[in-house]
Amino acid sequence: MSSTIRLITFDLDDTLWDVRPALEAAEAAQWSYLNARFPSLALAATPREQIADLRRKLLEDKPELTHHISLFRQSFIERLLLHHGVPSGEAESAASEAFAAFLSQRHEVVLYDNAQSVLNTLGRQFQLGALTNGNADVRKTEIGSCFDYAWRAEEFGVSKPDPALFHRAFEAAGVSAGEVIHIGDCHDNDVSGAISAGAKAIWFAPDGGASEIASGVVKELSELPAAIERLTGHKGLI
C-alpha cells in the first residue's frame, strides 16, 4: 500500500464520456460547413478509397502529423479541397474554418454516469490531470474546472502508450511517476503505457476484463474511489 500518490490522471474519450456521439456531431458540422461553402463540389460524394488515399499520401509526406491529429485533420481538408480544384489560399482558409466547425461540436460531450461526482470526490485529496491522445480540450467541457492539468498528446508530438508522453506530463506537474495513478479505457495505451512510465494504472473496463499488470480494474466510474482508497490508504473517498 502506498500513501505517496499526489496526482491522478485520466484519459478522456471513452473513459469520462462516450466519444462516438461527439465525433459524429463534429464530423457532421465539418461537412455541413464544407458542403454549404462548396455546394458544386459534392464533397460528401468523394469515394472512400480516394479519401483513404489522400490521407495515406498526407502522412507519407508529413509523418510528423501522426501525433498531431488536429493539424492532420485540417491539412487533410485542405488537400481534399485542392484535389477538387479549390485555389490554394481559399482551400487553406476553408480548411481552418471547417476545423473550427468540427471543434465547436467536439466538446459537446455527454458524461458517463458519476463522472462529475467521482472527479469532485478525488479532487478533494489529489491533483487531477487529463492526458489524452484525442483533440478534445477538457477545459472546454463542463468538467474542465475539475482538473488542475490538461495535456493533449499533440502538444508534445508523442502519443500514448509512449512513456515519454507520461514523463513529460508528470514533469510538468512536478511529480514523479511513482506518485501517479493513471486511469483509462485502453489497456495498451493507458495501462501498459502508464506502467511502462513507472506509474500505477487502473483499467476502466465497462465490458469487464482481467489485467495482469493493472493495479485495479473497474467496470463503473463509481468504483474508482474505493479502488484508489485501497491503493493509496487515503480515507474519506467512499
Per residue in 73-98, pLDDT (tens digit) is 999 999 999 999 999 999 999 999 99
Query: Helix count (H) and strand count (E) of the chain?
Result: 9, 6
In angstroms, the Cα distances linking 64 to 68, 69, 155 are 7, 10, 12
Is the pLDDT reported for residue 2 higher than 60?
no
pLDDT (tens digit, 9 = 90+) per residue, 152-171? 999 999 999 999 999 999 99
Domain boundaries, the chain: 7-18+110-232, 20-106
Q: What is the pTM of this model?
A: 0.92
When computed from its CA atoms, the radius of gyration of the chain, rounded to whole angstroms, is: 20
**Which residue has cell 478534445?**
136
Residue 133, number of CB atoms within 10 A of its CB:
22
Would you place residue 238 in the very low, low, confident or very high pLDDT band (cuts 50, 70, 90)? low
CATH architecture of 7-18+110-232: 3-Layer(aba) Sandwich (3.40)
Asked if the 20-106 domain carries CATH number 1.20.120.1600, the reply is yes
